Amino acid sequence: MTPYTVIALVVALSLAQYAFLAAAAGPRVIIVGAGMSGISAGKRLSDAGITDLLILEATDHVGGRMHKQNFAGINVEVGANWVEGVNGGKMNPIWPIVNSTLKLRNFRSDFDYLAQNVYKEDGGLYDEDYVQKRIDLADSVEESGEKLSGTLHTSGRDDMSILAMQRLYDHQPNGPATPVDMSVDYYKYDYEFAEPPRVTSLQNTVPLPTFNDFGDDVYFVADQRGYESVVYYLAGQYLKTDKSGKIVDPRLKLNKVVREISYSPSGVTVKTEDNSVYRADYVMVSASLGVLQSDLIQFKPQLPSWKVVAIYQFDMAVYTKIFVKFPKRFWPEGKGREFFLYASSRRGYYAAWQEFEKQYPGANVLLVTVTDEESRRIEQQSDNQTKAEIMEGHLLQLANWCEPLRV
Ligand SMILES: Cc1cc2nc3c(=O)[nH]c(=O)nc-3n(C[C@H](O)[C@H](O)[C@H](O)COP(=O)(O)OP(=O)(O)OC[C@H]3O[C@@H](n4cnc5c(N)ncnc54)[C@H](O)[C@@H]3O)c2cc1C
Ligand SMILES: *[C@@H]1O[C@H](CO)[C@@H](O)[C@H](O)[C@H]1NC(C)=O
Ligand SMILES: *[C@@H]1O[C@H](CO)[C@@H](O)[C@H](O)[C@H]1NC(C)=O
């Protein structure tokens, strides 16, 4: 053995010892929730040398609202589907993971042809030039709103709803009101924010930092491994996995529903539904606003009122993706046909549609998105009722109209 290797060995040994001591001396952190936030938080802590972690997840899987589900023989995304904000000045950190590392199948969504694809309530398409003019008008109102937004005090004290801004610039007391204008409005705002312009903050969404920073493009992920594989990938950076990629690290505990968090200057105690008790120096809670607004997790003592008020200030928005499969295709496909709108006289009634010629070829599946009040209503009814509603509108007309063409 040369002296050099001995020295190297001694250094390595003392480093190992140091790492051991650092881990033991570092804080123990419990993370509630193993969705994108919780798993990312664990990675950040781990990268910073804080490795004494415990992640408690209520369900039997990681990923949370990034989740695939088998539907009619294909895996579709029931939660997040798009990488939002690509091709801009800064790199969206998710994008290289999706497009380079994991190479998840993805497709840029092109909304430029929407004007050709707006259906009347009783079937048939609206005139493209007419729709384009209404889109241009809505875009110019939004541009004025963006300028206004830039002048508002950064504290948010002057913030207003998008609808208030629209009233200011389009002089209609109720905002967009015709079926076409409502469907364009729905596409521009509700389809992105899951809530109507009446309750959506101007300052926080126009412009939307995601698009401002990372670019205007959005890419639809349609990969049989699921968009959730991004979360598994991040988890695999610091949690032990077996050969098949399954997370086997004891620091991740699944099926642990956190019900109580007691905290004091000396640390935290976390209790789960199955009466397990965990102690730590800190806890990070990544459960959704919806969970925090319910009394599912009891904080002892109660959270300070400024925090409670902040939690109650916001709505847990509801965004429902309804996939429908047909025995055969009766809708148009080809360039510019992917996205279509149904211009109902009832705002947000099965308004936004997508076909999957490229993503799921031959599957004959369509996606219709509903949000907010329509979501709450539809989620209460049977699937059969929903199917019947879907087939009453333009789709029935489209199906009837296309049938003779096929014969
Ligand atoms: C239908 C839908 C479509 C979407 N589309 C997009 C999109 O296209 N692009 C995009 O960027 N974003 C989209 N989003 C938003 C995106 O999915 C979320 O912002 C993101 O996944 C949230 O991650 P999170 O970790 O903050 O929360 P979650 O994913 O909700 O993770 C929280 C985790 O905590 C767990 N948990 C909750 N309560 C407890 C408890 N008491 N004890 C233990 N664990 C608990 C939950 O089970 C969950 O796993 C969409 C969301 C939905 C619902
Ligand atoms: C995604 O990756 C592909 C293949 O490497 C590449 O050709 C393409 O330019 C990438 N897309 C973007 C928007 O970066
Ligand atoms: C839904 O409709 C199908 C076909 O019409 C029928 O077989 C099924 O029983 C219905 N389901 C419910 C829950 O009503």
Q: 13 or 394: which carries more pLDDT confidence?
A: 394
Specify the pLDDT at position 6. Answer: 43
Task: Return the ligand 3 atom nearest residue 384 CA.
Answer: 1
Q: 388 or 10: which carries more pLDDT confidence?
A: 388
Going along the chain from its start, the domains and CATH numbers come out as 3-65+229-313 (3.50.50.60), 109-216+318-407 (3.90.660.10)
User: Strand, helix or coil at 292?
Assistant: helix
Q: Which of 65, 208, 323 to mutate to test the pocket of ligand 1 (most atoms within 8 A of CB)?
A: 65
Q: What percent of the chain has pLDDT over 90?
A: 87
Q: What is the pLDDT of residues 36-84, one digit of tens each?
A: 999 999 999 999 999 999 999 999 999 999 999 999 899 999 999 999 9
Ligand 1 proximity of 84 Cβ (cutoff 6 Å): yes
217: enclosing H helix or E strand:
strand 217-221
Ligand 3 proximity of 384 Cβ (cutoff 6 Å): yes
Contact at 8 Å (CB) between 231 and 62?
yes
Specify the pLDDT at position 404. Answer: 47
Across the chain, what does the average pLDDT equal?
A: 92
Contact at 8 Å (CB) between 198 and 72?
no
Q: What is the pLDDT of residues 214-249, one digit of tens each?
A: 999 999 999 999 999 999 999 999 999 999 889 999
298-300, strands of its sheet edge to edge:
277-280, 267-272, 258-264, 298-300
Nearest CA to ligand 3 atom 2: 384
Q: Which amino acid is at 326?
A: F
Specify the pLDDT at position 122. Answer: 85
Q: What is the pLDDT of residues 348-359, one digit of tens each?
A: 999 999 999 999
Contact at 8 Å (CB) between 343 and 183?
yes
Ligand 2 proximity of 99 Cβ (cutoff 6 Å): yes
Backbone angles phi and psi of 306, in degrees to 5: -60, -35
Q: Which long-range contacts (CB under 8 A, 24 or more apart) does 312-315 make?
A: 314/289, 315/195, 315/199
Q: What is the pLDDT of residues 93-120, one digit of tens each?
A: 999 999 999 999 999 999 999 999 999 9
Ligand 2 proximity of 86 Cβ (cutoff 6 Å): yes
Q: Round to whole Å and give the CA distance between 340 and 366.
A: 11
Ligand 3 proximity of 388 Cβ (cutoff 6 Å): no
Nearest CA to ligand 2 atom 10: 99
The 10 Å CB-count burial string (b at 16+, else e) for 227-240 is bbbbbbbbbbebbe
Q: 174 or 240: which carries more pLDDT confidence?
A: 240
Specify the pLDDT at position 123. Answer: 85
Reported confidence tier of residue 401, pLDDT bands at 50, 70, 90: low
Specify the pLDDT at position 75. Answer: 97
Q: Round to whole Å and give the CA distance between 112 and 343.
A: 17
Q: Round to whole Å and give the CA distance between 348 and 346.
A: 6
Specify the pLDDT at position 396. Answer: 80
Reported confidence tier of residue 9, pLDDT bands at 50, 70, 90: very low
Nearest CA to ligand 1 atom 48: 64
Reported confidence tier of residue 402, pLDDT bands at 50, 70, 90: low
Query: Which residue from 180, 182, 188, 187 is spatially nearest to 132, judged by alpha carbons?
Result: 180
Q: Round to whole Å and give the CA distance between 18 and 319.
A: 49
Specify the pLDDT at position 240. Answer: 98
Q: What is the pLDDT of residues 243-296, one digit of tens each?
A: 988 999 999 999 999 999 999 999 999 999 999 999 999 999 999 999 999 999
Reported confidence tier of residue 175, pLDDT bands at 50, 70, 90: very high
